[in-house]
Chain A
Amino acid sequence: GAVVSQHPSWVICKSGTSVKIECRSLDFQATTMFWYRQFPKQSLMLMATSNEGSKATYEQGVEKDKFLINHASLTLSTLTVTSAHPEDSSFYICSASTGTSFSNEQFFGPGTRLTVL
């Protein structure tokens, strides 16, 4: 149980294009989903937290207009990198949580490797 998928697993795009990454909880309902970014040899950095049906909460320094997050259902959240540039190339990982007091563990997706040319 507690499986999270991401699609695509990798993507290469040209500078200036937009890329959408999907995060799905396959066997549980995720009231909260998290989006992280990891640059080579660096730690995972939380970008934003989204709750189903609400606007995402972005961490300091993360541009909400550039990284659009939608959490329209209890099993799906999307991250759209708008007008991507080479410096946006990174490993993007989502995680999902049921957000209950019983179990608030975050379950991670396999990640999406984005390369912007």
Chain B
Amino acid sequence: RKEVEQDPGPFNVPEGATVAFNCTYSNSASQSFFWYRQDCRKEPKLLMSVYSSGNEDGRFTAQLNRASQYISLLIRDSKLSDSATYLCVVDPTGTASKLTFGTGTRLQVTL
């Protein structure tokens, strides 16, 4: 079983749509969780951290379910500029010394 699993997609959605991505992780002792965004042939960029209570940043909402070892990202009112690959990242140590990346979920927002 992969340490971090994501549906690779692609998710093709029209502008304005709401889309959700899920991610599962295998290490129950994992401490920190993140969503990164990676554009084609570019480095990953931190989108947001994921907290147990759930957190929101504008159109983006992240949720964590430790019991089910499951993380989600919800994007509301999708924009063309949201088209990218979204990486689920787990930090087993909580010190950012060893990040484990999922393969990513590709999102394509269309007109």
Contact with B along A33-45 (1 / 0, CB 8 A): 0100000011111
A91 contacts B by Cβ under 8 Å: yes
Kindly supply a per-residue 1/0 record for chain A positions 97-110, scoring 1 wherever the CB is within 8 Å of any chain B CB and 0 otherwise: 10000001110111
The answer, among B8, B41, B43, B104, for a CB contact under 8 Å with A108, is B43
Beyond A43-B4, A44-B101, is A111–B42 a contact (Cβ under 8 Å)? yes
Is there an interface contact between A41 and B45, defined as CB atoms closer than 8 Å?
no
B96 contacts A by Cβ under 8 Å: yes
B: contact size bracket = 10 to 19
Query: Which of A32, A42, A97, A108 has most chain B Cβ within 10 Å?
Result: A108
Task: Kindly list chain A residues whose C-beta atoms are within 8 Å of the C-beta of B101.
Answer: 43-45
Q: What is the interface residue range for chain A against chain B? A: 20 to 34
Known: A41-B8, A41-B103. A46 touches B98 (CB 8 A): yes
Chain B CB within 8 A of A93 CB: yes
Q: A113 at interface (Cβ–Cβ under 8 A)? A: yes
Contacts from B to A (Cβ < 8 Å): 4, 8, 41-46, 87, 95-104
Give 12 CB contacts A-B under 8 Å. Answer: A34-B99, A42-B103, A43-B102, A44-B99, A44-B101, A46-B98, A97-B96, A104-B96, A106-B96, A108-B44, A109-B43, A111-B41
